[in-house]
Amino acid sequence: MLKMMIGFFKDFWKYKVQVKKQDAWIKKFAKQKNYALNPSWMMSTNLEIWLSELEATFGKRYCPCFEPSADAELNKKMLCPCEFIEDEIKEYGTCHCALFGSSNLDKAGWKASSKRLMGEYQVPLNIKNGVLDTRGMPMDPRRNLPIPDAMHQLKATLNSYTNKTLKMIVATEQEVLNLEKIASYRGYGFEKQAKEEYFEVTLNFDACPTQGSDASCGN
């Protein structure tokens, strides 16, 4: 938990300019659509940090809950604010990420939606002997993408991971491409290998000269 908090504030400092810009358009959009915003400063700020990092890594402001897919049309729909927002607000009271919500959503409603979101992403990771198998996660019914995806599983792993290398097993080539972009942005060493039924990626954190001291390296 302490490392997560330290990572949060490092990321907040790193992306403070971008977070300010994210916050401005988010408030403007919410006002235009008569949406409420998540009342938790830490949660809303963490989502703004993720939006900033996704934009820096992939070049577009993708929904912070999902990594880009192999479907260009779906990726357009996942640009925040995503095209699923109204349906999800009707179902959950908030969008999937619990950033935007119904204007009449009460405190209990926000808490319930945030709990739903955390329940989806805070799952046991299939990691053993330095190998993280990201396959087999539940699929989001609207996007047909795993929750949590390989990108989010990597970030969760690095909250407590201390080894110099990490092998990741992923199901699709798109996940390999996404991890390669993440590795490039963060300064990790990267290797990939196609197996018969899956893809294997190896991340080398020794390639990151400031491992453990910079939010972009190993956190």
Residues in the chain: 219
Q: Given this model, what pLDDT does residue 206 score?
A: 87
Structure tokens at 164: 């110099």
Q: Is 142 exposed, middle or buried, given 0-12, 13-18 or 19+ CB atoms closer than 10 A?
A: middle
Q: Who's near 195: CB < 8 A, 6+ residues apart? A: none
Find out whether the peptide bond into 124 is cis, omega within 30 degrees of 0. no
Structure tokens at 184: 């490039």
- Mean per-residue pLDDT over the chain, rounded: 92
**pTM here?**
0.91
- Judged against a pLDDT cut of 80, whether residue 15 lies above it is answered with yes
Map tokens 């969760």 to a residue. Answer: 156
Structure tokens at 28: 């403007």
If one counts every other C-beta atom within 10 angstroms of the C-beta of residue 16, the result is 11
Confidence band for 219, pLDDT divided at 50, 70 and 90: very low
Q: Given this model, what pLDDT does residue 208 score?
A: 62
Confidence band for 215, pLDDT divided at 50, 70 and 90: very low
- Note the pLDDT tens digit of each residue in 112-137: 999 999 999 999 999 999 999 999 99
Q: Which domains does the chain have, with CATH numbers?
A: 2-121 (3.90.460.10), 127-207 (3.30.110.40)
- Note the pLDDT tens digit of each residue in 54-110: 999 999 999 999 999 999 999 999 999 999 999 999 999 999 999 999 999 999 999
Q: What percent of the chain has pLDDT over 90?
A: 87
Mean pLDDT (whole number) for 161-179: 97
